[in-house]
Structure 1
Amino acid sequence: MTAALVAGLLAGYGIAVPVGAVATYLVSLTARTSLRTGVCAALGVATADGLYALVAALGGSALAAALQPVLVPLRWASGLVLIALAVRGATAAVRHYRSPRHAAAARRTPPSPARAYLGLLGITLLNPTTVIYFAALVLGSRAAQAVLPLEQGVFVLAAFVASASWQVLLAGGGALLGRALTGRRGRLVTALLSSAVILGLAVRMLMSPA
């Protein structure tokens, strides 16, 4: 049981800690909205990680075979969604900077926590890296076929908790960033930098070999 707990924690942190496009978007979203919205978005990311950990733990070799035909479409779908988010974020930042009236309206109607949760859940579910990562972990374990259901449950829960703790930490950083950059120019620069990073990571994802 302890081994399954440690393995789950390591797996959760292993997929969550590397800062990619989704993490960048999470920080940027929290900086523009609120900590509550950011935490909900963070839990959306962690939920997707937990679901993939569950599927990988239960699926075994069948999962790896089933994923092969859809890995490329998943990669393209994820990349295109992230590019759209980057372009939308940069466009909105420039528009709000040029027109304070639009900026005030945006602050009055931020994304709801539920919408943020579902949005980040969907984006993360499209990320093929998460699928491959958890499938490789399960298939790489010599005892994968002999693991008890309770141990599988502990592994999945630990992976979810690890991912959630890191994503919430990122959201907290985004909230602090949003408070520090209260001026219009600071928010513009932050949004443009975030969009540039997301765009670069998305293009790199699309250009990577299948």
Structure 2
Amino acid sequence: MDPIARGARAVGRGVREVLLTAAAIGGVICIVLVIMAYAGGFSLIMFKTGSMTPTIPAGSVALVQKIPAADVVVGDVVTVDRVDALPITHRVTSVAPAEGSDARILTMRGDANDVEDPEPYTVADVRIVRGSVPGLANVIVWFGNPWVLGGVTLAASVLVVWAFWPRREPDPPRADGERNVGGEGEEDPVSSGALRRDRRS
């Protein structure tokens, strides 16, 4: 086979393996996140504002876990739900028991803010921040675009078809330097005819 063609085939196989590996890793990550969501109460939240800068800047994505408010201590960064408003994620500055229940009264403040939030929060459970990745929110929003999502789906389908499409490998060179005229397992009509003439003579 031509060295250039052989090199192109090798590059193609390498690219295919890299893309399939990346797709497999992405699938594993999705499966792990689903298991964590159902088994451990984990979820992801995106930060649109910079009230927690520099700890969690705007555009970050945080991994949060639902826990009882009784487990919260001062210094935790938690997300609490609010009536008629979006959830808020700030650092806890004080914790007090709520009379007659397992709920807690939390005062909170963003790391970038000079004052605490206007009102305390009475909650039975919260979502505590376990970690965050800066800038990931923009990537998630970009992938959420219908055109991008459709393109990714189409590209993944093409990749799977390309990876598993049957290919005919070239015949390996023979050790004696002769070429194969027929297909694999077939006789060369020229050489077989010559052999029969030799036997008759």
TM-score, normalised by the number of residues in structure 2: 0.25
Structure whose residues are more often strand by fraction:
2
TM-score, normalised by the number of residues in structure 1: 0.24
Structure whose residues are more often helix by fraction:
1
Q: Report 1 or 2 for greater relative contact order, CA contacts < 8 Å, sequence distance ≥ 6.
A: 1
Quick check: which has more Rg, 1 or 2?
Answer: 2
